[in-house]
Structure 1
């Protein structure tokens, strides 16, 4: 059984959890807030924000 692959968004921001896209956001602040909240609840997950404009990823790390 093959899972459907989600495509990278062409605009906005996406939340990547353990290498898989899970949610899309219109703003960076919204993506960061969602990512930090998820990281607090599940600190063992690797959570990154994908920026569609620059095609760059930023890892969420708690202080």
Structure 2
């Protein structure tokens, strides 16, 4: 079976993991903290924040050790 594709958020921010939308947030700070926590736990994942207003994505990376 094929899973249904999630549509892009029309407002707020969305968390994108390996090209798939996983969660939506009302604020950028909430999305960023969620993305950073996920990236710390699973550094091999590609985590980005999608901004629905500007229709842009921001790559989340781990700070240098």
TM-score between the two structures when normalised by the length of structure 1? 0.98
**Distance in 2, Cα, partners of 1:33 & 1:16:** 13
List gaps (5 residues or longer) in structure 1: none
The residue aligned with 1:28 is 28
List gaps (5 residues or longer) in structure 2: none
The residue aligned with 2:3 is 3
**Distance in 1, Cα, partners of 2:22 & 2:61:** 18
Q: Residue 21 of structure 1: CA displacement?
A: 0.2
The residue aligned with 1:59 is 59
**Over aligned residues, Cα RMSD in angstroms?**
0.5
**Distance in 2, Cα, partners of 1:33 & 1:4:** 27
**Distance in 2, Cα, partners of 1:44 & 1:56:** 22
